[in-house]
């Protein structure tokens, strides 16, 4: 499992990706570069998020590169793991400097292909699929 890299103009290419309505469903981890800094974030709607970021700052934010994970259940944990791995490059919040876009994408791919990711993704997928089928059993088990 690997992410997908796209060069601008790319936002329109994201329109056809699935949109996940709730945080209990799947989401994406994205990596964007403005040419100087890199942002690692997560979202359930990649297209809307990129439009939002490109329209920020009044004059617009130039997204020069985008890379994103396949949709997954543990996208928030994956984003957190990326922030931890990139901590020494952190400049503010989810923004990083002093590391190449390619290197950050490689770190994401290493996580996506790890046995730990696959195990956690499968466990969360099974949990949500089970809870959608039988909410009563899940509620009883959690108490």
Q: Are 39 and 65 in contact (CB under 8 A)?
A: no
Most confident option among 61-65, 114-118, 132-136: 114-118
For residue 128, pLDDT over 90 is answered with no
Could you give phi then psi for residue 123, rounded to 5 degrees? Answer: -65, -45
pLDDT tops 80 at residue 115: yes
Q: What pLDDT was estimated at residue 37? A: 93
How much is the pTM? 0.81
Selection from 29, 11, 12 nearest residue 20 by Cα: 29
- Under DSSP, is residue 68 helix (H, G, I), strand (E, B) or coil? strand
């Amino acid at each position: 499992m690997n992410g997908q890299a796209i060069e601008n103009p790319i936002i329109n290419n994201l329109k056809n990706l699935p949109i996940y309505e709730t945080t209990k469903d799947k989401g994406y981890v994205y990596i964007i570069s403005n040419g100087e800094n890199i942002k690692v974030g997560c979202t359930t709607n990649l297209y809307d998020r990129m439009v939002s970021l490109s329209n920020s700052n009044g004059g617009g934010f130039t997204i020069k590169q985008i890379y994103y994970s396949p949709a997954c259940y543990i996208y928030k944990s994956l984003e957190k793991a990326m922030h931890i791995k990139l901590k020494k490059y952190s400049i503010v919040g989810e923004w990083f400097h002093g590391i190449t876009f390619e290197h950050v994408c490689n770190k994401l791919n290493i996580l996506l292909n790890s046995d730990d990711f696959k195990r956690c993704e499968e466990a969360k997928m099974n949990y949500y699929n089970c809870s959608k089928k039988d909410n009563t059993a899940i509620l009883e088990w959690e108490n």
